[in-house]
Amino acid sequence: MTEMVYGAAPVRDGEPVLPKWWRTVDKWSLSCILILFGVGLLLGLAASPPLAERNGLHPFHYVQRQAFFGGLALVTMFAVSLMAPIMVRRLAVLGFLAAFVALAFLPVFGTDFGKGAVRWYSLGFASVQPSEFLKPLFVIVTAWLMAASQEIGGPPGRLWSFFLAVAIVAMLALQPDFGQACLVLFGWGVMYFVAGAPMMLLIGMAGAVVFVGTVAYENSEHFARRIDGFLSPEVDPTTQLGYATNAIQEGGFFGVGVGEGQVKWSLPDAHTDFIIAVAAEEYGLVLVLVIIAIYAAIVLRSLIRLMRERDPFIRLAGTGLACIFGVQAMINMGVAVRLLPAKGMTLPFVSYGGSSLIAGGIAVGMLLAFTRTRPQGEIGDILRGRIR
């Protein structure tokens, strides 16, 4: 019946899974992800040996761990991208429940590793940051609720998703992790906008965010310190922002040369939050622009393919995933050049971090699954039919 109404394209019966995946997947986005992973290993070779030396480890300890977790991320990405959207949704709902519970119990069983924010579970041999996994899974659950609300007699999915977003943002703010909280709220807002939210409601929400930010500034020393550091006209050269700013200035257009950078010896987070400063110093503005272009290509290609998608769930979920992926990269690089306050956020697929890499693999795998070419025609066919 669906094929009679929408005029679905013919399906190749009996086609093996892998050839079908290769024929339908967005190869340009896939290639960009692999390039980002390679860039991450390249920068890891430059940024992590000083940290390994300070911790009494062999020089390439963190590079090997990044390669291991990155390999797991790529395998996970490939496995998820093979799935049908309905299977992605089912597994994401189960994963979301587990990640939500893990986030709720962080104040009791979590640790801050001396960084002032309880965001991790220590497993001894590694650590897990629940918020990294919660973000993409939250997008899927929210898209499911919003898509269900558009059906006749459907549940109030938009309202439920709003309460869910507020609960997650509150738990993240208590860690405190205002960067991830803003990212979750941004993802929800983008999907709500795509689902047809009134503009006045979004403006009201923006005002509420400003109000909550003001309250947080007045009551949270951690938040106020970062905002004051961002607004200060002068940068303390002994802070992470000071080191990063100096490294970017020293790099110039072509960089100081491979292995010649000095910021990695001063920045404790050179291999994670400030990896772009290492890239700018050693390889210059050229590599930074290439990295920005790769992220932009992934986001824009995904959004263009999603614009032709008929299924509202796939369209909403894919848009949320693509926008969160791109905005996280923008925030990380914006912090390094003092366009944004410090957030403690990784650069997807480039920064070191097991949770970040594997969660990124899950998110991009779902995005690739949603942007695969399906035998359904395009939403433009419906619009042209209505015009006729």
The DSSP line for 25-72 is S-HHHHHHHHHHHHHHHHHHHHHHHHHHHHTT--TTHHHHHHHHHHHH
Residue 128 bridge partners (DSSP): 121
Residue given tokens 């400003």 in the structure block:
210
Residue 84 three-state SS: coil
Q: What is the pLDDT of residues 158-197, one digit of tens each?
A: 989 999 999 999 999 888 888 888 899 999 999 998 888 7
- Number of Cβ atoms within 10 Å of the Cβ of 265: 14
Residues of the chain with pLDDT under 70: 1-14, 222-223, 229-238, 376-388
Each residue of 312-335: pLDDT tens digit? 999 999 999 999 999 999 998 988
CB of 340 within 8 A of CB of 334? Answer: yes
Residue 12: the pLDDT is 57
Tokens of 139: 């997008």
Give phi and psi for 122, each to the nearest 5.
-90, 125
What whole-number distance in Å separates Cα of residue 388 and Cα of residue 385?
5
For 200, other C-beta atoms within 10 Å of its C-beta total 8
pLDDT score for 39: 93
What is the spatial distance between Cα 381 and Cα 7, in angstroms, rounded to a whole number?
9
Taking the CA of residue 221 as centre, how many other CA atoms within 13 Å lie in the half-sphere pointing to its CB?
Answer: 2
Beta strands in the chain (DSSP E): 121-122, 127-128
Q: Where are the domains of the chain?
A: 17-374
Q: What is the pLDDT of residue 387?
A: 47
Strand partners, 78: none
pLDDT for the residue numbered 2: 41
Please answer whether residues 359 and 49 qualify as being in contact, where contact means their C-beta atoms are separated by less than 8 angstroms.
Answer: no
pTM given for the model: 0.87
Please state, in angstroms and rounded to a whole number, the distance separating the CA atoms of residues 35 and 388. 45
**Which pLDDT score is estimated for 237?**
63
